[in-house]
Amino acid sequence: MDDEHSLGTDIILNPILPGFHPDPSILRVDNDFYIATSTFEWFPGVRISHSRDLRNWRVLTHALTRLFGPRALLFPRAFFTLYIPM
């Protein structure tokens, strides 16, 4: 356990994901937690991470792994902006 993010055995300090991880949307499935965060102009888009204890996270994948739509065809180097994954 990382002492920087814990005050004891049952208390977790915010943010649960340190660094730049805006607009978190979290989902619990049994004992697993999944969190999706905005990536704005960064690509691949919408980072999805996994945890079993809300303290230790690992990136599983990204929801958007390829550019799509007319903007991607007209401006292949200009990325789109995506906010608030749901």
List, for residues 33-71, the tens digit of each pLDDT value. 999 998 877 778 889 999 999 889 999 999 888 766 655
Rounded to two decimals, what is the model's pTM?
0.68
pLDDT above 90 coverage of the chain, percent: 30
pLDDT at 76 exceeding the cut of 70: no
What value, to the nearest 5°, has the Cα angle with vertex 61 and ends 14 and 86? Answer: 60
Long-range Cβ contacts of 10-17 (<8 Å, 24+ apart): 12/54, 12/55, 16/51, 16/54, 16/55, 16/57, 17/49, 17/57
Q: Which of 18-22, 58-62, 75-79 has the lowest mean pLDDT?
A: 75-79
